[in-house]
Amino acid sequence: MPKLDPEKDPILLGDDPPPPLFKSWNQMYFFVLLLHAIIIALFYWLTQAYS
């Protein structure tokens, strides 16, 4: 089995196409994390508003 040398052959990120809806994957990840933060904020509001 061919050896992967991490010092010479780091993770290749460059050549995969961008995701749909966004220009880059970083924007996509940011969107997912932002959505998650909004969901937590909504949960917090629910906890406070109805307790």
Partner 1 sequence: MSIIDWIIMLGTLLGIVAYGVWKTRNISSVKSYLLGDQDLPWWTIGLSVMATQASAITFLSTPGQAYESGMGFAQFYFGLPVAMVFLCIFVLPIFYKLKVYTAYEYLETRFDLKTRTLTAVFFLLQRGLAAGITIYAPAIILSTILGWGLNTTIFFIGLVVIFYTVMGGTKAVSVTQKQQMIVILGGMIFAAIVIVLRLPEGIGFSEAVNISGKLGKLNVVDFKFDLSNRYNFWSGMIGGVFLFLSYFGADQSQVQRYLSGKSLTESRLGLLFNGILKVPMQFLVLFVGILVFVFFSFVQPPIHFNEANLRKLEGTPMTADLEQLQAQQNPLFLEQREETRHLLTAIKANDEGEIEESQQRISALHEQDKDLRESVRGLILQADPAAKTKDTDYVFITFVMHYLPIGLIGLLLAVIFSAAMSSTSSELNALATSTVIDIYRRSLVKDRSDHHYLQASKFFTILWGVIALAFAVTADLFENLIQAVNIIGSLFYGVILGVFMVAFFQKRVRGKAVFLSAILGEIAILLIFWASNSDIWVRLGDSWYLFKVAYLWLNLIGCFLVMLLSELLQLFFRK
> Which residues are at the interface with partner 1 (CB under 8 A)?
1-4, 6-7, 10-13, 16-17, 19-20, 25, 28-29, 32-33, 35-36, 39-40, 43-44, 46-47, 49-51
* CB closer to partner 1 out of 17 and 23: 17
1, two tokens = 């089995």
How many angstroms separate the Cα of 48 from the Cα of each of 36, 40, 41, 43, 44? 18, 12, 11, 9, 6
At its nearest, how many Å lie between partner 1 and the CB of residue 51? 6
Minimum CB distance to partner 1 smaller for 6 or for 23: 6
- Separation CA 13–CA 24 (nearest Å): 11
